[in-house]
Amino acid sequence: MNNIKRNVYIILLAFFLVSLGLNSCKNLDFPSPNDPDISNLPSIQWMVSGAEAEMRNELEIYLRVVETFGRNAYYFETADPRYTGELLTGPIDAGGFLLNRHWNARYRVIKNGSLILENYSDDKGATGFANTIIGYQLLMLLNFTDENGVKIVFSRDINTPFVNKTDAFKEIERLLDAGFDDLNAAGDAFSFELSSGFADLSTPAEFAQFNRAIKARVLVLQSKYADALTALSGSFVDEAGDMNTGAYHVYSNGSGDQGNNMWEDPTAPTIKLYAHPSFKTEAEAGDTRFSSKVTERAEAASFNNLESNLAVTTVSDAYGKVPIIRNEELLLLRAEANIGLGNNAAAASDINAVRAAAGLAAVDVAAMSADDALSQLLHEKRYSLFMEGQRWVDMRHYGKLDDLPKDRAGDIVIDKMPRPETEVPGN
């Protein structure tokens, strides 16, 4: 009897333990509990928004760098004297964050674009968006490295070669043209929504105008002025339009979004970003582009033997937008192309439209020499596109980097970024 009771207990215990064991035996094969796997592509909307979001990432570092190179700005960062050292004296550290942050982020956008091209090849709106964005990101990279070139094959193999500037431009043009063709075949509406930064350019047809605007910038930088005029005619350039019509990076305080790291309260006790003193000395009286883009502080800040009291106010608030390309630049690109073609008269109306918007009187461009017209144009571009990353690129395009002011003994003007050491074998 006792034995039977004991056996019952043992069987129950064994049964309990076996059940416990089986119950605790979990399936070991599960996806990441945190983020979607890269092989598990979500809808096109997620990829497009992700690309748009990443396009802003590290943009503030890029703009600080190129505007410092172009002697438009100083960045007084006590925690990191490289902004006022290395950028103005060289040599540039090929492993430093001033180069790598921008470089890495642009290629991450390209990765999103490549994933769209691989997985949504039937959606012409999607491929049109992706090709345009990839082309634009390559341009942002090439702006940085110039003659040092970029990689146009996006591979894990570090031996993948860099292409030179000419071939890089060729690839950018190819991508923009492919995107343009796709957009023209994409119908009336995208299968996804762009952010409010593209509110003016939200349909495939309008986005194609954005594509042509970027193409125009690319062509002007190659001095292909006639082609640039053609591209501009397909863009949203509008002499009578608002100077600020265009495409923007937008920011918000929404979850997972980011604020605009460039924003500083110009009245705060300490700020870091200042305009170069020449931005004031070379400004024309009454130029609203000067008065709206900087505020003169009562006390000048000095750091590392540099000094300025011009607080930058191009960003309106902690979530203020940053232009990608807008009508004002397109008008100036058209003027630039016309000047390049020796057609000063055609350039005059665009330049004066921009000047009128800035509260300035017209100038007689038609009567100017080619050199003077170009100088006038570069002056307008500097003030119109302040903190939009164009001045250094433009001065380099025209071989005028030596004209930029050097504030301290030993300062130099950097002409291009080195190839990041993470891209070159043997580092």
Partner 1 sequence: MTKLIRLYSALFSVLLLFAVPAFAQDEIPEEVEISGNVVDENNEPLPGVNIQLKGTFIGTSTDIDGNFSFHVPFLEGAERTLSFSFVGYRTEEVSISSKSTGIEVVLYEDILRSSEIVVTGLATSVKRQNLANSVGTLDSKELLGAPTQSIESAMAGKMPGLVVSQNTGAPGGGVFVNLRGVSTIEGKTEPLYVVDGMIVNNSATQSGVDRITKAAGAGSSRPQGQPVNRIADLNPNDIENIEVLKGASAAAIYGSKASNGVIIITTKRGKAGATKINVSQKTGFSSILRKIGARKFTAETAEAYQAGGGDLFRKNGNIDYEDILYGETGLLSESSVSASGGDEATQFYISALRKNEDGIVKNTGYEKLSAKVNLSHRFSPRLKLDTYSSFINTEANRAITGNDNSGTTFGVAMAFTPGFVDLRPKNGIYPDGPGGSNPIHTRDALINRETVYRAMNSAKLTYNILRGSEQNLDFIFQGGFDYYSQYNKLYAPAELQFEKSASEPVTSIDGETRALNTTAYFNFVHSLALDNMVFNTTAGFQLENQRVDNLIVEAHGLPPGEANVDLGSTVTPYQFVDKKYDQGIFIQEEISLEDKIYLTFGMRADRSSSHGDVDKFYTYPKASGSIRLSEYDFWESLNDITNDFKLRLAWGQTGSSPPSNFKYSTFQTGNIGGKSGLKVNPAAGDPNIKPERTTELEFGFDAAFFDGLIGTEFSYYTQNIEDLILRSALPPSSGFSSFFTNAGDMTTSGIELSLISSPIKTSDFRWDTRVNFSKTQSEITKLNVDPFNKGGFATSLGTYRIEEGKSPTTIIGNDKDGNVVDLGDETPDFEIGFSNSLTFGNFNFSFLIHWKEGGDVINLGRFLTDLGKVSDDWEKVKVDVLDDNGNKIGETTPRLRGDFGTAPWIEDGTYIKLREASLTYNFDREMVNSMFNGALSSLNIGLSGRNLFVITDYSGYDPEVSNFGNVAIGRSVDVIPFPSSRSFYFNVSLGLN
* Beta strands per DSSP E along 316-385: 322-326
**Of residues 53 and 332, the one with the C-beta less far from partner 1:** 53
- Token pair, residue 1, equals 């009897």
With CB under 8 A as the contact rule, the residue among 126, 220, 250, 413 that binds partner 1 is 250
**Of residues 112 and 211, the one with the C-beta less far from partner 1:** 112
- For 273, the enclosing helix (H) or strand (E) is strand 273-275
Q: Is 420 in the site for partner 1 (CB under 8 A)?
A: yes
**Of residues 109 and 347, the one with the C-beta less far from partner 1:** 109
- Token pair, residue 135, equals 């082309």
The nearest distance, CB 64 to partner 1, in angstroms, is 13
Ordered DSSP codes for 123-187: -HHHHHHHHHHHHHHHHHHHHHHGGG-B--S--S-TTPPPB-HHHHHHHHHHHHHHHHHHHHTS-
274 and 311 Cβ atoms separated by less than 8 Å: yes
Distance CA(347)–CA(190), nearest Å, equals 35
With CB under 8 A as the contact rule, the residue among 257, 296, 372, 407 that binds partner 1 is 257
DSSP β-bridge partners for residue 273: 75
* Backbone φ, ψ for residue 127 (5° rounding): -70, -35
Our CA dihedral for 166, 158, 60, 170, rounded to 10 degrees, sits at 20
- Give residue 187's Cα distance to chain centre: 28
Which is nearest to 332 in space by CA: 248, 210, 200, 237? 237
Residues 17-36 that bind partner 1 (CB under 8 A): 17, 20-21, 24-36
Peptide bond into 418 cis (omega under 30): no
With CB under 8 A as the contact rule, the residue among 259, 286, 342, 405 that binds partner 1 is 259
Distance CA(398)–CA(116), nearest Å, equals 37
Q: Is 91 in the site for partner 1 (CB under 8 A)?
A: no
**Of residues 54 and 200, the one with the C-beta less far from partner 1:** 54
With CB under 8 A as the contact rule, the residue among 44, 63, 109, 363 that binds partner 1 is 109
The nearest distance, CB 53 to partner 1, in angstroms, is 4
Q: Is 390 in the site for partner 1 (CB under 8 A)?
A: no
- Token pair, residue 221, equals 């930088």
**Of residues 207 and 225, the one with the C-beta less far from partner 1:** 207
**Of residues 198 and 290, the one with the C-beta less far from partner 1:** 198
Residues 279-318 that bind partner 1 (CB under 8 A): 318
Build a one-symbol-per-residue string for 179-218: x at contacts with partner 1 by CB under 8 A, - elsewhere: --------------x-xxx---------------------
Build a one-symbol-per-residue string for 120-159: x at contacts with partner 1 by CB under 8 A, - elsewhere: ------------------------------xx--xxxxx-
**Of residues 54 and 380, the one with the C-beta less far from partner 1:** 54
The nearest distance, CB 319 to partner 1, in angstroms, is 9
**Of residues 205 and 318, the one with the C-beta less far from partner 1:** 318
147 and 85 Cβ atoms separated by less than 8 Å: no
Residues 50-69 that bind partner 1 (CB under 8 A): 50-54, 56-57
Distance CA(253)–CA(171), nearest Å, equals 36
The nearest distance, CB 245 to partner 1, in angstroms, is 18
Alpha helix (H) ranges present in 198-340? 204-221, 225-233, 278-281, 288-293, 327-340
Q: Is 411 in the site for partner 1 (CB under 8 A)?
A: no
131 and 175 Cβ atoms separated by less than 8 Å: yes
